Amino acid sequence: MNVDQRRIALVAAGAAGVLVVAVMVSIGLSSTNSSSTGSNPRHQSNERGGQPAGALQLPRQHGPLLLGAPVTLEGAESLAGGHLPRPNTPVANDSSVRGVFYEQERFDDGRPPSYQIALDYDAGVIVFVHPAADDSFDDPATEYAQMANGLNKSIGSSIASVKTIQGLPALVIQHSGTGVSSVDFVLPSGLRVQLIAVYAPTMDVATVEAIAQSIA
């Protein structure tokens, strides 16, 4: 099971794993200390200091990126080299941004450094943005279908599905019980967006999807 699938499994696991979910995104996508065995080091398992990734938890004010630093929205766009796609709904918009965090990504296979940005909104949703090319994500529809099937089989429940967001294939996780909902898709610009209701376990999937539909 790759790191993205483990993150999604944690989303489905329940509110107790909420903080761990955010940390897993950082650990799974940052390969500074990982030993890559394939073409996609972001999807390799990674542990720091001998402690399993799932055991780490961060306070919300620290931000969800383990090695990230707080920045302004303008600063994040400057570091990313252009417009940062983000939602614009009554639930999540620029006026309700609680924090913005930036983390530089380094790889073991000789690729140039990249980045990951997280936007934390008052409503409890976090939007993660990074270049999809860093994940060797050439065929999102196929990737998401495989991830959804793998998750549903692993937990014995059909909470994951591939839907259409902004005319694009998206992996949608509908919370069950105490889980949290999420949407994962790749924009035409090549940026991968992962929207997770990390701090909003009662937010329904329709609201999460509506937020994702507004991202531009």
The number of folded domains in the chain is 1
Q: Which of 27-31, 88-92, 176-180, 198-202 shows the lowest per-residue confidence on average (mean pLDDT)?
A: 27-31
Whether residue 70 has pLDDT greater than 50: yes
In the structure, what pLDDT confidence band is assigned to residue 56 with cuts at 50, 70 and 90?
Answer: low
DSSP string, the chain: --HHHHHHHHHHH-GGGHHHHHHHHHHHH--TT----SS-GGGS---BTTB-GGG----GGG-S-TT-EEE-HHHHHHHHTS------SSSS-GGGEEEEEEEEE--SSSPPPEEEEEEEETTS-EEEEEEGGGGT-S-HHHHHHHHHHHHHHHHTS--EEEEEETTEEEEEE---TT---EEEEE-TTSEEEEEE-TT-TT--HHHHHHHHHH--
pLDDT classification of 121: cutoffs 50, 70, 90:
very high
- What is the value of pTM for the model shown? 0.77
| pLDDT exceeds cutoff 60 at 9 | no
Please provide the average confidence, as pLDDT, over all residues in the chain: 78
Least confident of 50-54, 61-65, 111-115, 207-211: 50-54
Q: Given a cut of 90, is residue 52 above it in pLDDT?
A: no
pLDDT of 18-47, one tens digit each? 333 433 433 333 333 332 222 232 322 222
Task: Express as a percent the part of the chain with pLDDT over 90.
Answer: 57
Tell me the residue range of the domain where 179 lies: 3-214
* pLDDT over 60 (residue 11): no
Does residue 131 surpass a pLDDT of 60?
yes
The mean pLDDT value for 72-92 works out to 96
